[in-house]
Structure 1
Amino acid sequence: MSKLGALHLTKHTGVKHTATVIFFHGSGSSGGDIMEWPYTPAGGQMSNVWFDRAYITPDVPEKLNSIASIETEVKNLIRKENEAGIPSNRIIVGGFSMGGTLSFHTGYRWDRNLAGVFVFSSFLNKNSIVYEDLKKSPGGNLPPLLQIHGNSDDLVYLEWGQATFDNIKELGVSGEFHIMEKLGHSLNKRGMNLIKSFIEKHLPEQ
């Protein structure tokens, strides 16, 4: 297993670095630094995933030991940004599918001082520890949420995403839920433009 690290996609242009966006990809994708786990939904085969889960459905318990392992890595990643002069309120986290689920844990459990959270085609389990943590320590300034989901998604169903949004909103998170017409389990340009606008709104230039 490798340690998480930043993957810089642009060269330094001389402009001062004042904010950071961390994007967590979906299961099976790849990145410069990524955890490799035996993944239960893939028959126990090794796969590029952030944590293990019993099945891709909200009806099963979360594998909390696996999630706790990636928690340390994510916190270290944010800490490195903080040490480089980027406070948490100048950091947005987001992701696609499993990466979006990880973003829920990051923004509403591990660092609630973040500037925002965005998720695309993602969900939380029905009795998620994210909900439990929000119930235990309600109130405060929680990061705003942008959630996007395709209505033709046949892997992570729209109703799972909608239920997640409804639950997390009831627990004090403010945000927006956008449905993408005729979109399956994938990203699209309209959704990415919504994310771009969300980032520009919550990470204004300094």
Structure 2
Amino acid sequence: MSLGPLLKISQTNKLCSASVIFLHGSGDTGQGFLNWIKFLIGDFASPHINFYFPTAPLRPYTPLGGELSYVWFDRYNITPEVPEHIETLTDIGSSIKTLVNDIVQSGVPLHRIIIGGFSMGGALALHSAFRFNPGFAGVFALSSFLNKNSAVYSELKAENTPLYMAHGEKDTMVPITWGQKTFEELTKLNVKGEFVPLVYTLHELKKSELEGLFKWINKTLPPLETDQ
């Protein structure tokens, strides 16, 4: 299934040497995710980094009774206990891989690309970085999750990819215990990274969270000598 509209925040230098892909949560869009981030931290253009905000396809979503929604993949239920919907995960994995290949063809190598997202978008980022497209510079997952017997755990191919996770302590949609369990299972598989609990935070983005994320992004994707 094809992706929806793709938004891009271009680098301010003449050349781009790195890229970041932001994947929105269920029911949102790339534009909505971008607007949310701008509302919290303002403009964030980088001298050497392109930022991409794709939109998920419109597909039937089982937790909404089969109604159409902008979701990356289907889910049998919003709980870690159910199996993953492998068919739609595989389908969207191919679409994300095409997007990544387009970025690589533009001149940015895979090891200079970070992928990440919020909630369901973070889950897809984990599948993309650790299963579908090993070799990213890093992956981030905000208020996010993997199901109990996720294919990521059994098919992990990129344990050296750095991981950044942040999660609200008051999240009722995706409890922080779910996010912490995901992080623990990945670290058991030798993934290295950090998990940041967010006090007084529900299933949402916070300004301080984004400031920490962008600090990590800039540390992971520093400018090259050719960027100067």
Cα shift readout 1:111-166 (whole Å, capped 9, x = no counterpart): 221000111000100000000102xx5xx652100000000000000100000000
Structure 1, unaligned runs of 5 or more: none
Structure 2, unaligned runs of 5 or more: 31-53
Q: Matches of residues 44-83 of structure 1 in structure 2 within 5 Å?
A: 44-83=66-105
Q: Matches of residues 178-193 of structure 1 in structure 2 within 5 Å?
A: 178-193=196-211
Deviation at 1:172, TM superposition (A): 1.2
Normalising to structure 1: TM-score of the pair?
A: 0.93
The aligned counterpart of 1:3 is: 3
Runs of 4+ deviating beyond 4 Å:
none
Counterpart CA distance in 1 for 2:99 and 2:160 is 20
Deviation at 1:94, TM superposition (A): 0.7
Counterpart CA distance in 2 for 1:6 and 1:132 is 31
The aligned counterpart of 1:176 is: 194
The aligned counterpart of 2:212 is: 194
1:23 aligns with 2:22: yes
Counterpart CA distance in 2 for 1:66 and 1:178 is 29
Q: Matches of residues 77-96 of structure 1 in structure 2 within 5 Å?
A: 77-96=99-118
Counterpart CA distance in 2 for 1:204 and 1:162 is 28
* Root mean square deviation, CA, Å: 1.5
State percent identity of aligned pairs.
Answer: 43
The aligned counterpart of 1:164 is: 182
Cα shift readout 1:48-89 (whole Å, capped 9, x = no counterpart): 000000011100000100101101100000000111111000
Deviation at 1:30, TM superposition (A): 1.2
Deviation at 1:173, TM superposition (A): 0.4
In structure 2, the CA distance between the partners of 1:193 and 1:158, relative to structure 1 (3 Å rule), is: same
Equivalent of residue 56 in structure 2, options 8, 24, 34: 34
Counterpart CA distance in 1 for 2:134 and 2:98 is 15
Amino acid at match of 2:21: I
Q: 1:58 touches 1:160 (CA, 8 Å); kept in 2?
A: yes
Deviation at 1:34, TM superposition (A): 2.7
Counterpart CA distance in 1 for 2:159 and 2:116 is 18
The aligned counterpart of 2:120 is: 98
The aligned counterpart of 1:110 is: 132
Q: 1:107 touches 1:114 (CA, 8 Å); kept in 2?
A: yes
Cα shift readout 1:29-53 (whole Å, capped 9, x = no counterpart): 0126431110001111000000000
Counterpart CA distance in 1 for 2:20 and 2:164 is 14
Counterpart CA distance in 2 for 1:61 and 1:166 is 19
Moved more, 30-39 or 171-180: 30-39
Counterpart CA distance in 2 for 1:34 and 1:154 is 24
In structure 2, the CA distance between the partners of 1:152 and 1:186, relative to structure 1 (3 Å rule), is: same
Counterpart CA distance in 2 for 1:126 and 1:3 is 27
Deviation at 1:4, TM superposition (A): 5.2
Cα shift readout 1:165-188 (whole Å, capped 9, x = no counterpart): 000010010000000001000000
Counterpart CA distance in 1 for 2:130 and 2:88 is 18
1:155 aligns with 2:177: no
In structure 2, the CA distance between the partners of 1:4 and 1:114, relative to structure 1 (3 Å rule), is: farther
The aligned counterpart of 2:152 is: 130
